[in-house]
Structure 1
Amino acid sequence: MSRGFHESYYDHACRVISERDILDRNIGDVTLFKAIKKKWNDLFLLSYSDTRAGDLYHSTHAMRLGRSHHYLMHRGSIHPLSKFRNFWDMFILHVFIMHQLFVYLNTTLLLRSVPVLTTYIAKIKMIENTIKKSLPNSLNEEIAWHGFSRFVMRIPYFSGWPREILKKIVYLVEELIFLENTVVVESGVASQGLMIVDSGVLAVYKMHNGNHFGTKPFYDEVEHLIDGDYFGQLSLVTERAISTTTIVAITTCKILFVEKTLFKHLMRNNRDLFYSMQEEVQNEITKLTDEIVE
């Protein structure tokens, strides 16, 4: 005759020590601190009072074994993120929405006065940095991944790279705002890192020397860059990357920037990937150079 789920385990009369729960054995509740710790850890384990447990375990003995196994295996990783994931997802969503709102205000709603806009952008950046420093690194990394990963993963050089490495690259991304008619990259100056166009339009100008004696050099507009385009990738794999073109923002632009020194420091422990990317970039540059010569 069944006596219910909580009475289904039969304690034999010859048992000297009654079976105890894993939290009673490992933590106990002698002091207030231990009682709180026990209560906290119990939130992350199977619950005796959960009616669904009866579908998975046929006795409290089996339940105790399951709780013991889960606790011993995962006690080092018990933290709020593992229990209250729905809360953190909603929190990240609000942070992401606020971030997009800041960008919208930066680029559309402000006055076109450069001093006013520059001051406002500086204040927004200060607020963003304050919020970023107050959040755990895991949340900052997840926010960066949701915001920038699609741009980084579109770049062919990173195709097939491990997700762990891509996450670290995405975390290096810094947002830069360039106003209309601002020079983003100047010809003859060393490139500082990879730049990806998030929004806006940029013009690429190539300098030509005069054909005759005394003729001044002039700039020719050769192409436009739009959302998803990138440049400066050679600087990530070599120290001798000098820009051969001048790039100017036609509209207010948001650029995602990966600083070359930080990237090279990250790739110290991933030399195979770095050398593979270096070969790809150099082959692409050589191919473009040969096409121009022809």
Structure 2
Amino acid sequence: MLLLDGKIASAAVKEELKQQVQQLLENGKRAPHLAAILVGNNGASETYVASKVKNCEETGFRSTLIRFDADIDESVLLAKISELNLDPSVDGILVQLPLPGQISEQKVIEAIDPAKDVDGFHPVNVGKLVQGLPSFVSATPYGIMLMLAYYKIETKGKHAVVIGRSNIVGRPMSILLSSNLPQGNCTVTLCHSHTPNLKELCLQADIVVAALGRPGFVSADMVKDGAVIIDVGITRVTDPTAKKGFRIKGDVAFEEVAAKAAAITPVPGGVGLMTIAGLLKNTMQAYQQNNN
């Protein structure tokens, strides 16, 4: 069984980007600049944003973290996004989700300039992805594709089952795996809560991508021997015996499924790290496009 270690794969991506940044600086140019907006003090969001900022620093990117209180008016947030859109020194903009109830997430996503949308959520970028045009791909699916490439996982002609149809992971993942790409050319089945024969479909799959947010949902009796298992789930599960009072669990029952899988991602230490790698790659792409 091959452990698809996100720490190793993401380090390779970051090292490549670090060398690109060094080359830019040696040529008298500036480093790519990512601006992150955090609204409120959601614990998970704080952790994610801190990790993104840290990874920017490690790669040589410039990062700016902009904080707002949870009770901020939507218009103030939209005004800040407009300001960043017009700032030529900012290459990528991300607004950490979820947002407080008084703010429309869709309105915020659409307010970001598609050329700076390094999260890949803007309808323009999603539309380009569907049409097979160059675009910013949602960071988690992009990170998964980078991981498949790093570990040389064969996908051509394989049957992939994606569990979960979110706009952030499931839908774009199904499009990428079915696209004519080095880590694509799969026949893809996209499953969700209304799929009646989910277990039967998973048992047919050469590749399973679990992205439904239900800890331990995918069990050993749902996967065939030799399948490749990509676990996107990341849920905090209360555990009084844990130092922090909780543990991070994936959507896959790791120990029992790993015994049957040809390759599997751990949680934590798998897809989450690759999501940040995808974000950094998108930011470099935005820099290159905006500074031609």
Structure 1 length as normaliser, TM-score? 0.23
Higher helix share: 1
Structure with the bigger RCO (C-alpha within 8 Å, sep 6+) is: 2
